[in-house]
Amino acid sequence: MTNTIKIVFSNSKYLVLSFVIFSIMLIGLLISSEYIFLEPYVVSHLPSGTELGFVLIVTLSALSALVLPMNVFRINVLKSSKQKMGGSVVGSFVGAAAGACSCGPIGFAVISTFGSVGATATAFLTNYEIPLRIIAIGILAITYFTTVKSLKTECKINS
């Protein structure tokens, strides 16, 4: 597995892509989860009892930054080799993107327009934010292992 990671991230293009994904997701999720405040000036605050949520956000950002560039690498290799790509690439992107979504103020505003159903959805997402993030991390971990397996078999990367 480490050989696959070394091959993918030896290209600086994928390394920069990974850093950009990690930075954008981390900052965006920390702002939407109210760990970083932008008004009246930029302040970071980690209340006691919310350490698990913070660690899950960092883990989610790191796994997304690992999985997405590997899938882009896989697409580029399979596109140039004229080999058939499986449908797992689309599933990888959808799983990574869906797992990273956090219900920030925009999500609450959109959901609240639906009345009582929106209130129920908002309450559900607020109460089960930690389990949803753990499930998203599980999806990203499975995506990582299937991507590594796919790179080894379809792209002929040896361990």
Domain hosting residue 105, numbered range: 2-153
Q: Is residue 34 part of a domain?
A: yes
Q: Is residue 158 part of a domain?
A: no
Q: What are the pLDDT digits (tens) for 45-65? A: 888 988 998 999 899 899 989
Query: Alpha helices, DSSP H only, in 33-112?
Result: 51-80, 88-100, 105-112
The pLDDT of residue 81? 58
Q: Is residue 140 part of a domain?
A: yes
The pLDDT of residue 93? 55
Counting Cα atoms < 13 Å in the Cβ hemisphere of 84 gives 2
Q: Is residue 159 part of a domain?
A: no
Average pLDDT score over residue span 35-44: 88
d(CA 73, CA 59): 22
d(CA 159, CA 62): 23
Burial status of residue 104 (CB atoms within 10 A of its CB: 0-12, 13-18, 19 or more): middle
The pLDDT of residue 16? 95
Q: Residue 37's beta-bridge partner residues?
A: 43
d(CA 45, CA 48): 10
Q: Is residue 113 part of a domain?
A: yes
For the entire predicted model, the pTM comes to 0.75
Residue 26's CB: how many other CB atoms inside 10 A? 19
d(CA 156, CA 101): 33
Top mean pLDDT of 10-24, 87-101, 106-120 is at 10-24
Query: Looking at the predicted structure, is the pLDDT value of residue 82 above 50?
Result: yes
> How many domains are contained in the chain?
1
Dihedral angle over CA of 21, 16, 156, 85, nearest 10: 50
Q: Is residue 40 part of a domain?
A: yes
